[in-house]
Amino acid sequence: MVDSAAAATTVRARLAAKARANPSVALGGVCLLLVLVTGSIEPEYLSLNGARSSLLQAAPLGILAGAQTILMLTGGIDLSVTMIATGSAYVAASQSSHGAAVAILMGVAVGLVVGAANGIGVAVFRVNPLIMTLAMSGIMLGTFTAWTQTILRGSTVVAPFIKELAAGSFLGNRLPYSVVVWAAISLILIWLLRRTGWGRLLYAVGDNETAVRLAGVRTWQVRIAAYIAAGILGSIAGILLAGRTGAVDLQLANAFLLPSVAAAVIGGTSIFGGVGGYTGTILGALILSVLNSMLTFLNVGQDIQQLVYGTIVLALAWGYAGLANRE
Amino acid sequence: MNRPSPLLTITGVAKAYGSVVALEAVDMTVRHHEIHALLGANGAGKSTLVRILAGVHPADRGTLVVAGKTANFRTPVEAMRGGIATVFQDPALIRDLTIAQNLRLSQTNPDTFAQWLDEFDLGSLDRDRMVRNLPLDILRLVDLARALALNPKILLLDEITAALTADQAEKLFELLDRLKSDGCSVVLITHRLAEVMRICDTATILRDGRNVAELEVGGITQQELVHAMLGSPVDLAPDTPAGIATPTTADAEAVFAVEELASGETVRQVSFAVRRGEVLGLVALEGQGQERVFDILCGERRPSSGRILIDGSPCRFLSPADAVRQGVVLIPGDRLQALLPSLPVYQNLVVTLITRIRQWLGLPADERARAANAIDSLSIDTRAAAQVRRLSGGNQQKVAIGRWLVSGFRTLLCFDPTRGIDIQTKGEIYALLRKLAADGAAVLLYTSELAEIPLVCDRVLVMHNGLIVDEQVAARATEASLLTAAHGLV
């Protein structure tokens, strides 16, 4: 008895040590477990179709969570990222008549401008990021509500190319284009964070801004670039979302705000800055999206779904914090 | 003779943080009526032992006995109840509360506190002032008075004199002597051996997490203390002979100069020039405007008047980035201001290579090699290199210096680079500064340890009340001549 208990403890200790050494593997394990649980509830899910629908859901979430990851590394956050997504989608839809390329560029321009404004507010005027981006979100909601009656009146239907990009697939309907877009963005983000000076500085600014400033870096430049990058990611996510639903409205991306932060946190990025990365965030987005499918298949009321969702997110974040602290 | 049982007995205390062993096994005895020095190089385990005695961290093994009672404290409150009061290296006060609120929080008796504070002529200190608005020396004395108000059997002081002015330290020593005769014993951690010689009765010396010696201070010299700490004799003086401005230095061109620099009431008029190949010392008592001068020189603050000249042409620094681009770099007094604590050593070292936007899309191909070079030439101990926060103080300071070795510079501003650093690392830093100067850098060195001046500097300036009041040839400067000038008695 004693021996088996001791053996169990050492196994657990060894597992914990492994998980600490390689947190992405631990997260991947959690993700796989959730897939299997979902599959046991609804065997249909363990098919190409199931994987396809989970990935389709995860793509815009993963891109928005990428925006949060970049900012959280610097100790910031963007509460306006979903409004940027919605606004970009609106602009892209209203410009549909000029062709897909113009529509997409105009949409991305929204993210660029709003991101730059957020960045200037936070980095130059030293507004708290929560306040800055929350206010920006309100300003955008008001502006777009007014504009939908005036200059953006007209098409709320997106161009066919965007629909195809967001909802279409190739390789015999197996691989969605939007997942390819996400994969490309993921590679770029991982490269930026790991292999570039700017990525290095994001971590450094989040860790100790004074040390970076005294090293001769103009830290406001790093921050503004981060908010612009986040804005552009928000725009891309918004355009993909609009393409999936086919039409835009002012609630388009609302539901993604807190999940975008949650995905980054579950993936191990600290909201206090300096610690984290995008690989974890990808897994965080996948976990949340599988969790969503699971809850849908559970066939219970909305109230229970929310309750389970909240509890699991809390458990994951807590588990991760535990892992990080035990070092 | 029948000696009474000791006040504090530590037996076989061990502590590891993860895989890093901070204390192997420490025995130590503090008797009644004793001022006991706890000495050791950085990383020897002094701070860990303090944390265990203060109940901040429990020991992994070993026992503490205070006045005959076993006392393995699990929380700071238990330690205080057990009769041990501690003044930590960083004041244990909440920055965003007033003094009065901090006292209420720690349930300190305000009258007793006031009596102790008055020992330092601070009885009139306004208790409604915010902690964050008070200078460090005052905060340390507030912390000390609060500890004394607990009426402890044992008072633990961790590097308390580092932030005090000479006269405050003097008052402290008198106070400690009185406490001793009143029956309170003191454990004093310090890097200043002169203090040990002067006020301590006994010294326990730690090395690599073990106690290697207990000495009666009366019968030994400073040199013997140093030997005991290092385990081997050490030559403090750097290889390059300093002190005598070499002929090339004397008429070398001024790389960096300031003319009639002023900043409010704090800096009234400061002019000097640092020549190529020269280490220029700066000496002042606490709070004479030296911090402000360094803030201006490194670009953190703009002067209200005056000019900064580089190679004879005027420059304006709007931010540290401007200064760095002109080759003027700072090693700040608080080394935490120069470190990225969660990042590895090499990333700390190479952050100076990616400061400009055009360096952002990529990383220098040779960054690992350049970091390795700096690590080698500074002999940084990289056993805990994954996170700079885990390095010892001396190694952290080497990293703070190393990031400028990686990028290169022309003028080096050092603000008290050896504060709180072990004696061996100090020697290494002196040698490094001399070598950098010999290689053509201009170095401005502010130091609070006057003994360093003849070891490292060519010339020395003395600052008092916002003015440069004296200039001396470093080789001929003595602690007495410098202190006289620093008090404005020229």
Q: What CATH number did the domain enclosing B444 receive?
A: 3.40.50.300
Look at residue B245 and tell me if it is in a domain.
no
Instruction: Report percent pLDDT > 70 for chain A.
Output: 92
Q: Is the pLDDT at A2 greater than 70, yes or no?
A: no
Are residues B193 and B327 both part of a single domain?
Answer: no
Query: Nearest 5°: CA angle at B348, between B345 and B349?
Result: 90
CA–CA separation, A64 and A67 (whole Å): 5
Interface test with A, best of B347, B355, B409 (most A CBs within 10 A): B355
Question: Which residues in A have their CB inside 8 Å of a CB on B?
Answer: 195-198, 200-201, 203-204, 207-208, 210-218, 221, 225, 274-275, 327
> How far is the CA of A1 from the CAs of A6, A11, A12, A13, B405, in angstroms?
9, 15, 16, 18, 60
Q: B323 CB near a chain A CB, below 8 Å? A: yes
| A contacts of B339 (beta carbons < 8 Å) | 208, 211
Nearest Cα of chain B lies from the Cα of A276 at a distance, in angstroms, of 11
Look at residue B282 and tell me if it is in a domain.
yes
**Cβ within 8 Å, pair B352-A216:** yes
**Cβ within 8 Å, pair B351-A214:** no
Q: Residue B45: which region, alpha, beta or left (left: phi > 0; alpha: psi -120 to 50)?
A: left
Interface test with A, best of B342, B353, B410 (most A CBs within 10 A): B342
CA nearest to A64, candidates A102, A115, A106, A29: A115
- Which pLDDT tens digit goes with each residue over B176-200? 999 999 989 999 998 777 888 889 9
**Cβ within 8 Å, pair A217-B351:** yes
Are residues B469 and B332 both part of a single domain?
Answer: yes
User: Is A160 or B402 the better-scoring residue by pLDDT?
Assistant: B402
Residue B1 has what pLDDT? Answer: 43
| Helix (H) or strand (E) run with residue A78 in it | none
| B contacts of A196 (beta carbons < 8 Å) | 360-363
| Contact status, residue A276 vs residue A269, Cβ threshold 8 Å | yes
Q: What residue numbers bound the domain in which B181 lies?
A: 8-230
Averaged pLDDT, B362-367? 91
CA–CA separation, A279 and B153 (whole Å): 55
Residue B235 has what pLDDT? Answer: 52
Averaged pLDDT, B453-473? 93
Arithmetic mean of pLDDT over chain A: 89
**Cβ within 8 Å, pair A216-B362:** no
- Which pLDDT tens digit goes with each residue over B213-253? 898 988 888 778 877 777 654 455 555 444 444 444 556 78
Locus of tokens 């393409």: A243
| B contacts of A327 (beta carbons < 8 Å) | 18
Write down the ipTM of this complex: 0.85
Q: What residue numbers bound the domain in which A137 lies?
A: 64-278
Answer positive or negative: Cα dihedral of A107, A110, A115, A116: positive
CA nearest to A269, candidates A198, A197, A196, A189: A189
**Cβ within 8 Å, pair A200-B347:** yes
| Contact status, residue B39 vs residue B205, Cβ threshold 8 Å | yes
Q: Is B268 exposed, middle or buried (0-12, 13-18, 19+ CB in 10 A)?
A: middle
> How far is the CA of A57 from the CAs of A130, A264, A285, B364, in angstroms?
27, 16, 9, 38
- Which pLDDT tens digit goes with each residue over B257-316? 999 999 988 899 999 999 999 999 999 877 789 999 999 999 999 999 999 999 999 999
Nearest Cα of chain A lies from the Cα of B405 at a distance, in angstroms, of 12
Nearest Cα of chain A lies from the Cα of B264 at a distance, in angstroms, of 23
Look at residue A73 and tell me if it is in a domain.
yes
A139-153, B293-307, B332-346, range with the lowest pLDDT: A139-153
Are residues B365 and B313 both part of a single domain?
Answer: yes
Q: Is the pLDDT at B481 greater than 90, yes or no?
A: no
Look at residue B402 and tell me if it is in a domain.
yes
| B contacts of A16 (beta carbons < 8 Å) | none
| B contacts of A217 (beta carbons < 8 Å) | 321, 351, 354-355
CA–CA separation, B378 and B429 (whole Å): 9
CA–CA separation, A166 and A179 (whole Å): 9
Count of structural domains, chain A: 1
| Contact status, residue A275 vs residue A268, Cβ threshold 8 Å | yes
Look at residue A26 and tell me if it is in a domain.
no
Q: Is the pLDDT at B382 greater than 50, yes or no?
A: yes
Are residues B450 and B327 both part of a single domain?
Answer: yes
CA nearest to B394, candidates B379, B409, B411, B415: B379
Averaged pLDDT, B37-41? 85
Residue B121 has what pLDDT? Answer: 87
Averaged pLDDT, A263-269? 91
**Cβ within 8 Å, pair B353-A197:** yes
User: Is A8 or B407 the better-scoring residue by pLDDT?
Assistant: B407
Are residues B374 and B479 both part of a single domain?
Answer: yes
**Cβ within 8 Å, pair A214-B359:** no
Are residues B202 and B283 both part of a single domain?
Answer: no
Look at residue B383 and tell me if it is in a domain.
yes
Helices (H), chain A: 2-21, 23-41, 48-73, 81-94, 100-119, 129-149, 160-167, 177-195, 197-207, 209-214, 219-245, 257-266, 278-298, 302-326
Are residues B225 and B263 both part of a single domain?
Answer: no
- Which pLDDT tens digit goes with each residue over B75-102? 998 999 999 999 988 788 998 999 999 9
Locus of tokens 């993909």: A240
CA–CA separation, B468 and A323 (whole Å): 55
Q: B408 CB near a chain A CB, below 8 Å? A: no
| A contacts of B351 (beta carbons < 8 Å) | 200-201, 204, 211-212, 215, 217
CA–CA separation, A35 and A297 (whole Å): 12
Confidence of residue B42 (pLDDT cuts 50, 70, 90): low
Count of structural domains, chain B: 2
Q: Is the pLDDT at A308 greater than 90, yes or no?
A: no
Look at residue A31 and tell me if it is in a domain.
no
| Intra-chain end-to-end CA distance of chain B, in Å | 54
Of A196, A207, A213, the CB nearest to B360: A196
Q: What is the pTM of this model?
A: 0.78
Residue B219 has what pLDDT? Answer: 82
**Cβ within 8 Å, pair A203-B343:** yes
State which of B195, B230, B265 marks the end of a domain: B230
Residue B467 has what pLDDT? Answer: 93
Interface test with B, best of A212, A214, A220, A223 (most B CBs within 10 A): A214
State which of B230, B245, B280 marks the end of a domain: B230
- The pair of structure tokens assigned to B244 is 């005598």
Size of interface A-B (CB pairs under 8 A): 88
